[in-house]
Structure 1
């Protein structure tokens, strides 16, 4: 089931739902993925193939293709006959996703060759974001996370590694949207980004790898503590 209020009411099916073939399945996939990542589809609540088909006003075939891809991404779980649920943000999910992210992004950092111009531009952006973070405004910092990490991911020289990083980013974005609501976590993450940027400036790939590992481990530990506290 999709949230009835307030977020579902703000989503215009007519504007967002896929409209034309031959990319109907792709548009359906991208729309559902966006709703899952942004939290518009409630975790743990049953979704039905009939309901989604009706809401999108599309046939079962493109919908099933989109659902199959989302299941492969781990963003939808099967739940009964022709039913699905969005996975909960659990401790196990965070540890799994961030364990994979740690392995991939630390490897990327170890081999990255980042142009000086990109490092300089990132420093200016980081300083501007720092003023917002200090003022308790975290939205732009959260939104810029992938762009910052892409400085070493996209410049690692390993297209297969880049592809694998991209594959888990639906999960990472979903978790980051939750984490962005946590003030102390966001402040700590910003400080870790500063350390990563300093390592970029030094040109020392081992220092960059260590800074990235420290950041991802820190994020993991903070989010696990938050979820365990909520469950207790």
Structure 2
């Protein structure tokens, strides 16, 4: 009986990286629901990967807080409580406001034009979803990521581009599909870019903070609706 070829170290790393990204995006998009138990056997079968590369991917996801280990319960997808989300948005408003201020002072004209072009692409994507969705891909295709990088402040870049970034993406995914939010968010992004282009650091910071604050208000409404629906369902079950 022929034996399976042994994967080289580089091949295992490539597999681990691919599965890491696949699971990460599944968590961000809610395909792997918050609080869901992570079962290695199921994931290994789903992604056609051996335990070694899978475990490395899971360790990385744990390091950026998308997965957590619970004593006697195993590994689960992180659950973002209302309190945790509020705290994240408070930090986000302060950090991203400062990023926008510094970006207005430090971005080159070419970088600003690239940012405008990015928003043109985002506008096209929103149109394709009939205005129902504004979910940005990770990294350079993400408006907020680009602003953080443009600050040229290593502390801000590290804080906004590491573990906090992925939790923020989970939060932002909630608002990206809220009614009227995609178009409003795009308009606000354009206003921020124009403030940066005008080198008005104070205005850029104010607009960014207002933008983040508005996003939090949207999330807060969604959370209240979810709690209300959950209470209604529980009441219905009790009466049955």
Q: Is the pair's TM-score, using the shorter chain for normalization, greater than 0.5?
A: yes
- Going from structure 1 to structure 2, the CA distance change for 1:151 and 1:55 (only over 3 Å counts) comes to closer
Whichever of the two has the greater Rg, that structure is: 2
- Taking the aligned partners of 1:104 and 1:121, their CA distance within structure 2 comes to 22
CA distance in 2 between counterparts of 1:20 and 1:144 reads 25
Instruction: Map 1:23-102 onto structure 2 (within 5 A).
Output: 23-79=14-70, 81=72, 83-102=74-93
**8 Å Cα contact 1:118/1:151 also seen in 2:** no
Which residue in the other structure is 2:111 paired with?
118
Match of 1:11 in 2: none
Whole-angstrom distance in 2 between the partners of 1:29 and 1:40 = 14
| 1:159 and 2:154 matched | yes
SS at match of 1:36: helix
Distance 1:162 1:51 in 2: 36
Q: Please say if residues 185 and 211 of structure 2, whose CA atoms lie closer than 8 Å, have aligned partners that are also in contact.
A: yes
User: In 2, distance between residues paired with 1:208 and 1:115?
Assistant: 15
Structure-2 separation of matches of 1:142 and 1:59: 31
Q: Distance in 2 between matches of 1:23 and 1:62?
A: 9
Q: Which moved more, 1:213-222 or 1:49-58?
A: 49-58
**Structure 1 equivalent of residue 217 of structure 2:** 221
| SS state at 1:92 partner | helix
Structure 1 residue 191 corresponds to structure 2 residue 187:
yes
Tell me if structure 2 keeps the 8 A contact 1:180–1:186: yes
Question: Hey, what does 2:174 align to over in structure 1?
Answer: 178
- The unaligned stretches of length 5 or more in structure 2 are 1-9, 229-240
Q: Alignment RMSD, CA only?
A: 3.0
- Could you tell me how far 1:214 is from its partner in structure 2? 1.0
TM-score, structure 2 normalization: 0.73
**TM norm structure 1:** 0.76
Q: Which residue of 2 aligns with 1:137?
A: 131
